[in-house]
Each structure stands twice: as C-alpha cells, then as structure tokens.
Amino acid sequence: MRAFFFGLGYSSLAAAQAMRIGSQTVNISGTVRTADKAKRLADDGISAHVFDGTAPGATLGPDLRSASHVVLSIAPGEDGDPALVHHRADLDAAENLEWLCYYSTVGVYGDFGGAWIDESAPLVPRNDRSDRRVLAEQAWRDYAAERGIKLAILRLAGIYGPGRSTFDKLADGSARRVIKPGQVFNRIHVEDIARITMLAAEARLDGTFNMADDEPAPPQDLVTYATGLMGIEPPPEIAFEDAQFTPMQRSFYADNKRVSNAAIKTALGVELLHPNYRESLTAIWEIMK
C-alpha cells in the first residue's frame, strides 16, 4: 500500500500511524502547510510536501502519482476541493490508484431537532462550510465513478482525543457549561477515526458512512465529567441565551441531531474503541496523568 494524505493534520496523522503499525509494507506520504512540519515528518519517515491549498504543491507530484490509496482531509474552499482544483492531473496519472477516502462532516445533514438520523437522511446544511462539503462529496463521487475506483466518504462528528479535548479547554480557561435544553452532539475519538480509516483502506470500503460515537450527549455533560475526573469544581452554568459566541461557535448550536454509526460498524464488523464520552475522557485522562 502506498497511501497519500492530503492534509496530514490531527486525524490524518493518527490514521497514517495506524496504517504503519498495522502493516510492515505501507508507504506514507502527504501534504502539510509548512516546511517546518514537513521536515519533522520526514524525520519520522513520512514523505511530506508543502501544499497550502491555494496553488499546486511543487514537489508532491511523484508521490501522488504512485499512490494506491489517497485520503483527503482538507476543507474545501469556494472553488472546490483543493486536491481536485490543483492536482487532478496527478490523480489522473496515478495508474495504481485503487481507493479514495474523503473526510467529510456530519454538518452536511443540518438540523433534525434532536432526532436520530442515518446516512439516508436528506442533506440540509445550514452554513457555507457544510454547503461546500456537500459539493465536495459529490465532486469526489463523480471523480471516483469516472475512474472506476472505490470511494469511502466518512462523515465525521466532533473530533477529540489527547491534546484536543475538554481537559485542554479547562486548562486554557475556554471550557464553559452552556445550557441549551435538548441540545446534543455526537463526537468521535481520534483513535476510532484512525482505526476505521486503516480498516477501510485495507478493505477498499465503498460508500458513505457516519463516523460518530454511540451516545450523543449535551456538551455541558463533558465538562462536568472531566472536572469530576480532575477533582475540581466545574465552571458555572450559562444559559444559551446569555452566552457570548463567535459566529462559528453559534453555528454549531444551530444543528441538533443524533447520528447513527450502525452502517460503518456493520460494514467493517467492528465496535468503537471509545463508544461514548465517558470512556473517551477517562482514557484521555489516564494518558494525561
């Protein structure tokens, strides 16, 4: 397997490492936004190329053209997905390409008033970011169909894990217990993203799947649980109407739904490593201690 990642960020790096652990024959390459990060990854045996999405990457062509598996983890812009905009010719020239994986978001569904939904739900995104994701998903479906290769679209819920969790928000003072009655969110631990991506790559999984935990929960519950593990008092409750939000923060609260993960678990025959926020936060806390 020769895996190329557009966007070697938090989730993609975890997936790349899972592939390396799971196979002695995998070759990993991909893109980052800075030369410093490219050098750090090169020191770890990953062939990393600078690509910021605004212009073609100067050096990535040979690695991309030799890829058998390509994972796409860059947010689309107004012109579409940067990989297709700037490197479609290299993708076309990848003669051994057999699988694509696109990291999308459950934000494409929009608001369902807290009801359970699965992949058959209509897409009614409520902001420009999610609108672009819908268009990018279809662009990759069209490309995969044109090439006759398999494509897995993984719609990710809120991503968390070591270094990116409620504990970090408590440490920097940004954690709040905002109360909006009936509001719930799904989340997904980065280790589950990594493992599912690895297994999907090995199986060349085809189709669209939700990547979310088993138990959508109110956001304030995570803060209460995390402070309990830490042995500290939680921050005071704030009514949603009184909370100060950035426009992006407020947009997240516009969507309220419970996202089913049954399809991906059935397709790969697995359960999640971190099925709910309590097990996830406990595992993160043990690492931190």
CATH assignment of the domain containing 125: 3.40.50.720
Give the other-Cβ count within 10 Å of 68's Cβ.
19
- Rounded CA separation 230/285 (Å): 8
pLDDT at res. 150: 98
pLDDT at res. 126: 87
Give residue 62's domain range: 2-159+187-213+259-274
CA angle 208, 214, 218 (to 5 degrees): 110
Would you say residue 204 lies in a domain? yes
**What's CA 254's distance to the chain center, in Å?**
20
Tell me the pTM: 0.96
Would you say residue 135 lies in a domain? yes
- Rounded CA separation 17/163 (Å): 16
pLDDT at res. 248: 87
Q: Are 29 and 5 in contact (CB under 8 A)?
A: yes
Would you say residue 253 lies in a domain? no
pLDDT at res. 111: 97
pLDDT at res. 23: 74
**Which class for 37: exposed (0-12), middle (13-18), buried (19 or more C-beta within 10 A)?**
middle
For each of the chain's 289 residues, which pLDDT tens digit applies? 999 999 999 999 999 999 999 876 899 999 999 999 999 999 999 999 999 999 999 999 999 999 999 999 999 999 999 999 999 999 999 999 999 999 999 999 999 999 999 999 999 998 999 999 999 999 999 999 999 999 999 999 999 999 999 999 999 999 999 999 999 999 999 999 999 999 999 999 999 999 999 999 999 999 999 999 999 999 999 999 999 999 888 888 999 999 999 999 999 999 999 999 999 999 999 999 8
Would you say residue 108 lies in a domain? yes
Domain count, the chain: 1
pLDDT at res. 249: 87
pLDDT at res. 195: 98
